Chains A and B, each alone.
Chain A
Amino acid sequence: MNINTTETTALLKSLATELGGQLSALARTDPLMIGIHTGGVWVAEHLHRALELAEPLGVLNINFYRDDFSQSGLHPQVTPSDLPFSIDGRHVVLVDDVLHTGRTVRAALNEIFDYGRPASVLLVALVDRGDRELPVRADVVGRKLSLTPGQQIKLLGPGSLRLEFQEC
């Protein structure tokens, strides 16, 4: 049931095509791309290359914005977020690997707005596994999956990306 590297590569390719199509349909030229650490960054790296974006890729680490901080504490090695551009007035493409509860996206949007006021944010997810807890939806999705509550899906990388199902 796992999605191997070949299938994942095909998925990334169709994701890039669909994203490119959406961006031109919306006339959002010269967008900024931001990947959510860590899996989202791997997907974003691929899309960034495929769309030949001019500006460098931004990396967002939402650990300081988590809503479960008081339950789960702080990961000791939080790689700092790195947005090497000004966000104000720009079209942003936010990329994550797996869209699930929507909480990560909520945290990411909060953090983005602490850097500035983007003109728009488009959400891209490699996989949408449903079970949302917040009113969040992705604009571009690679594949929709329905998982049982006990199942997890994880993107493995950074070299030869593949998706693995895990039972917990």
Chain B
Amino acid sequence: MARSQFCQLDESGRLRHFLTTEGLSRETLTDILDTAESFAAVGKRAIKKVPLLRGKTIVNLFFEPSTRTLTTFELAAKRLSADVMNINLRRSATVKGESLLDTLHTLEAMHCDMFVIRHASSGAAHFIARNVAPHISVMNGGDGRHAHPSQALIDVFTIRRHKPDFTKLRVAIVGDIAHSRVARSQISTLRTLGVKEVRVVAPRTLLPPVPEALGAKVYFSLEEGLRDVDVVMMLRLQQERIQGPLLPSLHEYQACYGLTQKRLALAKADAIVMHPGPLNRGVEIDSEVADGPQSVILQQVSHGIAIRMAVMSMILGRRDSAEVSN
């Protein structure tokens, strides 16, 4: 973590890269959320564009498939008037360190300003941040099981809009914790922002070996874990990352850990339901819940653009303060 802080912030403590939520102060996280609030207003105008990052070039380097994350990063860059390129490197998913660096150096030579990285290996974004030229900033769009910091910020932004006082909140994160980069970033963000109680709910096989180390209360029963919570954050069952016999069957998982309307009734009456997508309907969440009145899942998607605009502009606008003129 010490190392990630070293690379993530500049000498004045401002964001230089955005790699993980861990170690970011409450002030920095709140600045991002507040800035995103003003960008959310831009998205409602007739012309959904501001000239802030005119002339900057942002490259989306996605080594893993993605639709909503890639799309929202692209839209965020475009709404800030940056030039954006999407480079789909799925076919070379087994890129070795050396050839990956060659790809990066080629893009550096084109005078880009920011790389957004999504990669199946944990630590990929840090690795790239350590090896890029000094004029390039790196945003982590999800690396392996490690972190998905912008998603976590989208989630707390969505929570804040519904339930602004974090000190009173009980939040349950439910599902495949072991394989989830989203869960790790969510837990760290919620804790930094002072949420009263963070719970993780999962079968033992989908928790890390020492679940207590996550810094959350551990529940093995969904019924117990949902009781009196204000926010239910469902996770996608990452079937592509699950190797070996961790689950007897999807059907059994659904029977024990699927969020149904009946189970949701155990949470507070005004609890909100979230999911980072894509949904496995009928597995971790029933359609009735996902499309129901307590669901804020589609709001999460639109907030994704504002959060990514906020982080991009904070990173690329980070320069020495100059005199302000009328």
User: Does B41 belong to the interface (CB within 8 Å)?
Assistant: yes
Q: How far is the CA of A81 from the CA of B225 in the complex (A)?
A: 42
A interface size (C-beta, 8 A): 31
Q: Which residue in A77, A79, A104 is a CB contact (below 8 Å) of B326? A: A104
Q: How far is the CA of A70 from the CA of B135 in the complex (A)?
A: 13
Are A100 and B37 within 8 A (Cβ)?
Answer: no
Q: How large is the interface on B (under 10, 10 to 19, 20 to 34, 35 or more residues)?
A: 20 to 34
Q: 1/0 contact trace for B52-90 toward A, CB 8 Å?
A: 100000000000000000000000000000000000000
B320 CB, min distance to chain A CBs, angstroms = 7
Residue of B14, B34, B320, B326 most packed against chain A (CB within 10 A): B326
Q: How far is the CA of A64 from the CA of B38 in the complex (A)?
A: 10
User: Does A110 belong to the interface (CB within 8 Å)?
Assistant: yes
Are A71 and B34 within 8 A (Cβ)?
Answer: no
Q: How far is the CA of A65 from the CA of B47 in the complex (A)?
A: 13
Are A69 and B317 within 8 A (Cβ)?
Answer: yes
**Interfacial chain A residues near B318, Cβ < 8 Å:** 73
Are B325 and A74 within 8 A (Cβ)?
Answer: no
Are B326 and A115 within 8 A (Cβ)?
Answer: no
User: Does A103 belong to the interface (CB within 8 Å)?
Assistant: yes
**Interfacial chain A residues near B35, Cβ < 8 Å:** 74, 76-78
**Told that A64-B52, A114-B46, A115-B45 touch, could you supply 17 new A-B pairs with CB distance under 8 A?**
A64-B50, A65-B50, A68-B325, A69-B52, A69-B317, A70-B316, A71-B320, A72-B322, A76-B34, A76-B314, A77-B35, A78-B35, A80-B41, A82-B41, A98-B326, A115-B47, A133-B325
A165 CB, min distance to chain B CBs, angstroms = 14
Q: How far is the CA of A104 from the CA of B45 in the complex (A)?
A: 21
List 3 tightest A-B contacts by C-beta distance, closest first: A80-B41, A100-B326, A64-B50
With A110-B51, A114-B47 already in contact, the answer to whether A76 and B31 are too (CB < 8 A) is yes
Are A115 and B319 within 8 A (Cβ)?
Answer: no
User: Does B313 belong to the interface (CB within 8 Å)?
Assistant: yes
Q: How far is the CA of A76 from the CA of B45 in the complex (A)?
A: 21
Q: How far is the CA of A63 from the CA of B47 in the complex (A)?
A: 16
User: Does B321 belong to the interface (CB within 8 Å)?
Assistant: yes
Chain B residues within 8 Å of A, Cβ to Cβ: 14, 31, 34-35, 37-38, 40-42, 45-47, 49-52, 313-314, 316-322, 324-326
Are B319 and A80 within 8 A (Cβ)?
Answer: no
**Interfacial chain B residues near A101, Cβ < 8 Å:** 325-326
Interfacial residues of chain A within 37-85, with CB under 8 A of chain B in the complex: 61, 63-65, 68-74, 76-82
Are A64 and B326 within 8 A (Cβ)?
Answer: no
Q: How far is the CA of A105 from the CA of B52 in the complex (A)?
A: 16
Q: How far is the CA of A110 from the CA of B319 in the complex (A)?
A: 24
Name the residue on B nearest A36 (C-beta).
Answer: B326
With A64-B50, A101-B325 already in contact, the answer to whether A70 and B38 are too (CB < 8 A) is no
Residue of B14, B49, B321, B325 most packed against chain A (CB within 10 A): B325
**Interfacial chain A residues near B34, Cβ < 8 Å:** 76-78
B319 CB, min distance to chain A CBs, angstroms = 5
Are A74 and B52 within 8 A (Cβ)?
Answer: yes
Q: How far is the CA of A142 from the CA of B321 in the complex (A)?
A: 31
Are B326 and A80 within 8 A (Cβ)?
Answer: no
Q: How far is the CA of A103 from the CA of B320 in the complex (A)?
A: 20
With A79-B38, A100-B326, A101-B326 already in contact, the answer to whether A71 and B46 are too (CB < 8 A) is no
